[in-house]
Amino acid sequence: MKIITVLGARPQFIKAALLSKELRKKNEEILIHTGQHYDKEMSDVFFEEMDIPKPDYNLGIGSDTHAIQTAKIMIALEKLFVSEKPNLVLVYGDTNSTLAAALTASKLKLPLAHVEAGPRMFDKTVPEEINRVITDHISTLLFAPTTISMDNLHKEGLNEGVYRTGDVMLDNFLYFSKIAEKRLNIMENLNLSKNDYILSTVHRARNTDDADNLKNICKAFLELSKEYKIVFPVHPRTVKYLNKYGLYNKLKNANNIMLIEPVSYLEMLILTKNAYKIITDSGGLQKEAYFAKIPCITLDDSTGWPETIQEGQNILVAQKNETINYKYVVDITESFKSKSMHKNTFGDGKSKDKIVGLVNNLL
């Protein structure tokens, strides 16, 4: 069977790493990189280090408005889908590349599989929410990572082709953590010890582009730095707005805040597993904090992963109404100790096997 997998950003390649290997045991897989996000980390070393198959096609679409970017990807994909004649198109998550591939496959009446189907933030102002909902509603096979995700799909009338498989991110976390620990020494390079720092990331537009939100976050980081060391890998988008609002140097000059370049996936796994707490607006890092059993503070008023909230390992802080402070860090520590149930909500680390088994049997 010929399967076309469409990916648009480095996190999606990471999600696809182990699943692609499993798919290729009995199928022909063609990997298409839309080039939605340019990432200097996606060098030959990236593919070799993580043993990820290199793309068969790179469309080189690049950044643009949501509409133009999605349209360009669709035009390019249509030609490839027609010429390659796949038996299945497979997509991940909620990027514009995901939506473009889903719409193109649907128009050509090609079976479509969606990995990471069903999470909902219930906030239609978030572009990724729209991408995910539309993709779910035109997919043939929906692979839900959690029970809540599966229930969301059922509530929307999606019952056929829906399967709870667990989360491929957990597969990757377990597998690549072992590799990272053997190969890398980022803790030594940054002079860090286990549990002696808060790991922080900020990149969502609602936090970076909004001056008040970003100022509140920086104020909180400066306050927390009086008590804790903060390790802050700074996304290029965030650097741009920190400089725009005159905040970058304030953080840089703080004694206990380490502003560092974005790190590789393997390095981030090590920083995550050894952190005292995590403060982030990243959906992926919220889950990885859960996998590592590290308490997390999420810089948002909603999350696609309510499971982490329900199990006492994550709390939401809406920046328009509150500022993170020392109290939140203490509170989440106590909350985690008293409420955390950690039910292996995201599966058993064998999601790839379940997904590939379903694809092979059903198609």
Phi, psi of 106 (to 5 degrees): -60, -45
* Closest-CA residue to 309 (of 334, 286, 278, 288): 286
Contact 334, 346 (CB under 8 A): no
Out of 33, 37, 114, 203, the active site residue is 203
Tokens of 84: 């390659």
CB within 8 A of 191, min separation 6: which ones? none
d(CA 271, CA 268): 5
Contact 103, 74 (CB under 8 A): yes
In a 3-state reduction of DSSP, which class is residue 144? strand
Partners of 92 in the beta sheet? 115
Tokens of 222: 């400066």
Chain-centre distance for alpha carbon 62: 19
Instruction: For residue 203, indicate whether it is catalytic.
Output: yes
Q: Which residues does the annotation mark as catalytic?
A: 203
